[in-house]
Chains A and B, each alone.
Chain A
Amino acid sequence: MYSKELLKGTLQTIILKLLSENNKMYGYEITQKVKELSEGKIAITEGALYPMLHKLEQEGLLLTETVNIGKRIRKYYSLTAQGNAMADSKVIEFADFLNTMKILLSLNLKVS
């Protein structure tokens, strides 16, 4: 498990990327998928996930669709066109960030 500090700022990118590859997903499905793909190293907490989903929805990046499952209501999220574009740019930005971190952490940075 990674520290909270490390994961902060990654949640939005993770959600957008997942949704860009899956037509629509609901909250629980997202947490399970992330758990599975990260081999349990990244656990998204519900207290962070739902507020983030609602924020992205409000910003026009996500669309929602509710489906009644018996007595339950399941809310599915999917990307808007804007959300798709944002997913792309977030992924590119993050990949670039990873590269920079790699440089920062691998070189001898001592100023001679």
Chain B
Amino acid sequence: MSFLKETEINFIYTEIHRKGLTNSKLHPEVLDHICCMVEEKMHEGLSFESAYRQAMDTFGEEEIKRLQKEGRKPHTATRRLNQWLRIEYGTVMGLLLILVILSRNSSAQAHPDIAPFQNPGIVYTQIIQDIEPGIKFEVQEGTPVIATASGRVEQIDEQGLTLRHQHDLTTSYGHLTNLSLKLGDWVKKGDIIAYVAPRQGAKTQSYLYYEISFQGKKMNPLDFFVE
């Protein structure tokens, strides 16, 4: 395999920068990627110039623009949600739109767009994004947990519960204590449903685990909160 000269690498570096890839996180990787492509073509006998031209034909300016756009997006969770909506479940977009419209009117109560605490600004100290799209709110034990939307208790045990709302939405709350609700009970948005359970080990902080599902698929709750 022929290795590129420093001047050639510099040339590619300047070119991809000029074509719009300025994202510092992606730049080194894309540079290496294109260098590999060029080297492979040079190995087949092409000059640097033709190899570079061919590589860029394959890689395409569209890809560079796409990468740059991806790199700029704020966080992967939002990106995942967007991809999910746009590509795989395009029709859901329409449904969510209806949800938004509805939530502005009579069924604002049915849309889980608030944090599960009475005073989120003061109460929670940290949000941890897990592999699961649910989130952990690190809060003091005994903090009251509220229903983020009106709904019916669909599942309940000693430590957690799930509420079913309109539009095939459910919210789940974990690490609770003092649950007084029963299966099938109706709760209104903002009602206290239980309290955050004491921490389990000396090293862990007490927390609330919170999840939203739409049509049985877990969503990122952060994307539901109204900022």
**Which residues of chain A have a CB within 8 Å of any CB of chain B?**
8-9, 26-28, 31, 45-47, 50-51, 54-55, 58-61, 66, 69-75, 82, 86
Contacts and interface: CB of A to CB of B under 8 A. Distances in A.
Interface string B25-37: 1101111110111
Nearest to B73: A51
Contact of A47 (B37, B62, B76): B62
A50 B67 contact: yes
Query: Interface residues of B: mostly helix, strand, loop or mixed?
Result: helix
Size category, B interface: 20 to 34
A28 B33 contact: yes
Contacts of A66: 28
Contact of A26 (B9, B32, B70, B80): B32
A47 B63 CA distance: 5
Query: Interface residues of A: mostly helix, strand, loop or mixed?
Result: mixed
Contacts of B10: 71
Given A8-B87, A60-B131, A70-B3, A54 B32 contact: no
B9 A55 contact: no
Max chain A C-beta neighbours (<10 A), residue from B29, B36, B70: B29
Contacts of B28: 66, 72-73, 75
B76 A55 contact: yes
B131 A45 contact: no
Contact of A54 (B63, B76, B88): B76
A61 B33 CA distance: 22
Interface in B61-107: 62-63, 66-67, 70-71, 76, 79-80, 87-88
